[in-house]
Structure 1
Amino acid sequence: MSNSRRKFLTSVSMLAAGTAMPISYFGLSHKNKLKVALVGTGIRGITFWGKRLVDNYSDILEFVGLSDHNPGRLAHGKNYIGASCPTFEDFDEMLRKTSPELVIVTTKDSNHHEFIIKALDHGCDVLTEKPMTTDEEKCQAVLDAERRSGKNLIVGFNYRWSPYSTKIKELLSQNAIGKLTSVDFHWYLNTYHGASYFRRWHGQMASSGSLWVHKSTHHFDLLNWWINSEPSEVFAYGDLEFYGKNGPFRGENCRNCAHTENCKFYWDITKNEFLSSLYTDHEQHDGYIRDNCLFREEIDIYDKMSAQVKYQNNVQLNYSLTTYSPYEGWRAAFNGTEGRIEAWLDIPYYENLKVDQEELHRREMDQSGQEEIDSEPIIVHKVWNEFETVNVPMEKSGHGGGDKRLHDKIFKNPEDPDPYGRMAGSRDGAMSILIGIAARKSIQEGKPIKIASLTDLKPREVR
């Protein structure tokens, strides 16, 4: 193995462990590019973990294989990414024939664990899209595989890397409000983005583990990181009362529906060239329908959710997620012994936003790199004192600027110090999904759920 290759693989190990690396550990040459394989050529795979890597990091990495069970989407994905590697419907065959050093997993949530475990056991490091997996048994299997393989698993939590999220972490780390005691966090999905989850496989518990796992894992990871502790107990409520069986009518899908003139949620996927070429042109291969009816009977996830979470350091979290809000955004408040921090993004009444909600989501997901720099406020209010407004420069695109910063850290500058500890390994991935899994079980069983009862991980007070 070349010295430069050894340096890179050592850096991946340190990234997964959250360890600071000396600058000498990183040094790729053009002759020794990182060999990357991707499984799952859906929208997240071919954009964020595909084309963006080819466009920005081709000098230090190369795709040696792409895999998907849908041959049409696989061929389309290869062309979109701009890769020159072979494609495989059989993941095991790809591992054998291409010998990747890093496998990126962007498949359906419920089978993340299958590909993570196979790749680790094959001797590959793995980078998985969130959530790490969908239930406690699969979570334990992933943890066991990482331990026995001696390889490393990184979870792609991009929200940690946005400047706004980082500033909150900085303020809390500086004890700007004294000892943190409680947190209120509320996320609002709009009737464009929120509804989209119920059109897709995400609307079924068996595929996504519910939005407690698929969506809220983002939020729980942020909260675990901000609070600087791990969850110990969860109690939750949730119900399905807007989508699914609650709809006034239903059809086969939006393209084949008798109610298009009456349904406010009617969405013509054929007008979106990108989604049509990726999904509808290839649905005959696997039957995956991207524009399913929001009111189909088989939807069984929750569309309103709230939870209370107790942390090892005695911080209490009040959390909620709403999936049919008129707008998309979030609010958070951090209460401490010496004051309070209030933070929010994309609340239209606070910012006089005039942007269409569909356009707002498009900007957030944009990977073009043409960011518009803006600033967003954070309020720091000390007890017995006037409040202070901290303005944070940030971008709207690429998840608030988090996407490019995460990629740069993993592939370009792993040796750069990170005083905020933003890299996430398997423990971080587990602790985020275990809150959602515990919330789901709490609803089903009507009682609080101890995190320590789910896997062999024992929550820590401070990470």
Structure 2
Amino acid sequence: MKNTRREFIFSVSMLAASSAFPVHAFAFNKSKKLKVALVGTGVRGITFWGKRLLDEYSEILEFVGLSDINPSRLEYGKQYIGATCPTFASFEEMVSITKPDLVIVTTKDSTHHEFIIKGLEMGCDVLTEKPLTVDEVKCQQILDAEKASNKNLIVGFNYRWSPYATKIKELIANKTIGNLVSVDFNWYLNTYHGASYFRRWHGEMESSGSLWVHKATHHFDLLNWWIDSEPNEVFAYGDLEFYGKNGPFRGKNCRTCGHKTECAFYWDINKDEFSKKLYADHEHEDGYIRDNCLFREDINIYDKMSAQVKYTDNTILNYSLTTYSPFEGWRVAFNGTEGRIEAWLDIPYYEKTSIEEAEKHANEMAQNGEEIVAKKPIVIHKLWQEFETVQVDMEESGHGGGDKRLQDKIFVNPKVPDPYGRTAGIRDGAMSILIGIAARKSIQSGTPINISELTDLRPQERRS
């Protein structure tokens, strides 16, 4: 279905809308393609926000510039995307010369705020990968910049758009179990995917804000959306007890390590063709090592995390994140005044699967190729009744089908009303990271943290 540039810009304004900030009007010439510039040519940038955009929506958009601090990776990223635009070492130069309508930010988490703010100040709408940023100071700077501009900022949340997550939202919104009282949510990262965070810059607090922010922002956004309220207070525990200095041995990185034969976590990046071409072949430019040792002593984030969150509507959330589980998956339970909903994905005890743990993340991140479709159960158990099971069609690629649905909403069906309210704006991005930031501060202080003390946002009882 062919779309117009005006319709795309309209969809950006709808995604950016929130109760805290006004929606701005757009009036671009619809006969021209939307001009897009991308900063950050890592895996998420060149795949989901790069190659997939060009492959699926080239009738209505064009890349006018790519930017990265690593020149050879930048050229590889351009080749992988299939773009013909110029490349830039300087973000400001790229924006000044190419004058994009939309800037997409997919850099290291701790630098998101720099490019978001610069993009807004230079007259561009901005779309950023999650998380919005890594701490409350940078979050406030972004909020101030968005309010001061006549442009909009949106956060690329995709989990909301999977059919499975949407069905959960529908059941809760329809009061299937009455009024929501409490939620239990457990996320398990396996020893393949979970370990990968500790190999990278994500293992350093100053770069990622810890997995409380980088990873859990996905989960907290889902929960805020499902619960339909905003967090008020957070108390958390966390520690580093498995990775980092706790390891039995360590080396410079996997390729040069003398413990290859005895380390269960040994990973040969040279056998992963995509990772080698995207990272290892260009590490001489900026020193970014993709296969760092999991047990290096400068890892300072938490590898076990648990939090209790009180929402403004008095719903209580119990949350945990495990980073070295034998399997990858999650489960959630919603307790209401009239019953309980239980949902889960990829728990091996509940379903038979032939997919190896190492393949799960690849399927989740896949943007092209054949989609895997399966039926996934949700259990509804009302008070004094037998439980019933609802079967949901779900795609196991592209974040459960969420990736393509998010982009289709922006580029193909912007005017179609969404009864589930899946579009996420700047307030959603802020509220998701503020839970993680508060959890981190609670661990450090040993006290509960009020969300309202972190920025000038005041939690609302109802998101809508």
Asked whether the two chains share a fold, i.e. TM above 0.5, the reply is yes
* Residue 413 of structure 1: how far off its partner (Å): 1.2
Change (3 A) 1:13 1:30: closer
Asked if 1:62 corresponds to 2:47, the answer is no
Matches within 5 A, 1:251-290: 251-290=251-290
CA distance in 1, matches of 2:28, 2:254: 49
CA distance in 2, matches of 1:412, 1:69: 33
Q: What amino acid is aligned across from residue 356 of structure 1 in structure 2?
A: E
Q: Which position in structure 2 is the counterpart of 1:357? A: 357
Asked if 1:226 corresponds to 2:209, the answer is no
* Residue 178 of structure 1: how far off its partner (Å): 0.2
Aligned residue pairs: how many?
A: 456
Matches within 5 A, 1:48-447: 48-447=48-447
Q: In 2, are the aligned partners of 1:376 and 1:394 still within 8 Å (CA)?
A: yes
Change (3 A) 1:397 1:158: same
CA distance in 2, matches of 1:351, 1:9: 42
Q: Describe the superposition over 1:258-290 as per-residue Cα deviations: whole angstroms up to 9, x where unpaired.
A: 100110000000001111011011001100000
CA distance in 1, matches of 2:413, 2:44: 23
Change (3 A) 1:51 1:7: closer
Q: In 1, are the aligned partners of 2:235 and 2:307 still within 8 Å (CA)?
A: yes
CA distance in 2, matches of 1:373, 1:223: 25
* Residue 5 of structure 1: how far off its partner (Å): 4.8
CA distance in 1, matches of 2:173, 2:195: 36
Q: Which position in structure 2 is the counterpart of 1:457? A: 457
Q: In 2, are the aligned partners of 1:338 and 1:383 still within 8 Å (CA)?
A: yes
Q: What amino acid is aligned across from residue 454 of structure 1 in structure 2?
A: L
Q: Describe the superposition over 1:231-278 as per-residue Cα deviations: whole angstroms up to 9, x where unpaired.
A: 000000000000000000000000010100110000000001111011
Q: What amino acid is aligned across from residue 174 of structure 2 in structure 1?
A: Q
Q: What amino acid is aligned across from residue 32 of structure 2 in structure 1?
A: N
CA distance in 2, matches of 1:229, 1:323: 27
Structure 1 unpaired stretches of 5+: 20-24
Q: Describe the superposition over 1:340-360 as per-residue Cα deviations: whole angstroms up to 9, x where unpaired.
A: 000000001100223110111
Q: In 1, are the aligned partners of 2:380 and 2:388 still within 8 Å (CA)?
A: yes
CA distance in 1, matches of 2:14, 2:404: 20
Q: Describe the superposition over 1:398-422 as per-residue Cα deviations: whole angstroms up to 9, x where unpaired.
A: 0000000000011221111101111
CA distance in 2, matches of 1:263, 1:123: 50
Q: In 1, are the aligned partners of 2:232 and 2:311 still within 8 Å (CA)?
A: yes
SS at match of 1:255: coil
Q: In 2, are the aligned partners of 1:8 and 1:26 still within 8 Å (CA)?
A: no
Q: What amino acid is aligned across from residue 312 of structure 1 in structure 2?
A: T
Q: What amino acid is aligned across from residue 199 of structure 1 in structure 2?
A: R
SS at match of 2:154: strand
Q: What amino acid is aligned across from residue 434 of structure 1 in structure 2?
A: L
CA distance in 2, matches of 1:411, 1:152: 16
* Residue 8 of structure 1: how far off its partner (Å): 3.9
SS at match of 1:294: coil
Question: Moved runs in structure 1, 4+ residues, more than 3 A?
Answer: 4-8, 25-31
SS at match of 2:398: helix
Q: In 1, are the aligned partners of 2:5 and 2:31 still within 8 Å (CA)?
A: no
Q: In 1, are the aligned partners of 2:5 and 2:30 still within 8 Å (CA)?
A: no
Q: What amino acid is aligned across from residue 389 of structure 1 in structure 2?
A: T
CA distance in 2, matches of 1:14, 1:357: 37
Change (3 A) 1:29 1:370: farther
Q: In 2, are the aligned partners of 1:186 and 1:321 still within 8 Å (CA)?
A: yes
Q: Describe the superposition over 1:115-165 as per-residue Cα deviations: whole angstroms up to 9, x where unpaired.
A: 000001111111100000000000000000000002111100000000000
CA distance in 2, matches of 1:162, 1:315: 24
- What TM-score do the two structures reach when normalised by structure 2? 0.96
CA distance in 1, matches of 2:394, 2:33: 32
Q: Describe the superposition over 1:361-407 as per-residue Cα deviations: whole angstroms up to 9, x where unpaired.
A: 11111111421211100000000001110000010000000000000
SS at match of 1:214: coil
SS at match of 1:419: coil
Q: In 2, are the aligned partners of 1:15 and 1:414 still within 8 Å (CA)?
A: no
Q: Which position in structure 1 is the counterpart of 2:22? A: none
Q: Which position in structure 1 is the counterpart of 2:16? A: 16
- What TM-score do the two structures reach when normalised by structure 1? 0.96
Which structure's residues are more often helix, by fraction? Answer: 1
* Residue 9 of structure 1: how far off its partner (Å): 2.8
Q: In 1, are the aligned partners of 2:153 and 2:425 still within 8 Å (CA)?
A: yes
CA distance in 2, matches of 1:390, 1:158: 23
Q: In 1, are the aligned partners of 2:180 and 2:337 still within 8 Å (CA)?
A: yes
CA distance in 1, matches of 2:369, 2:217: 26
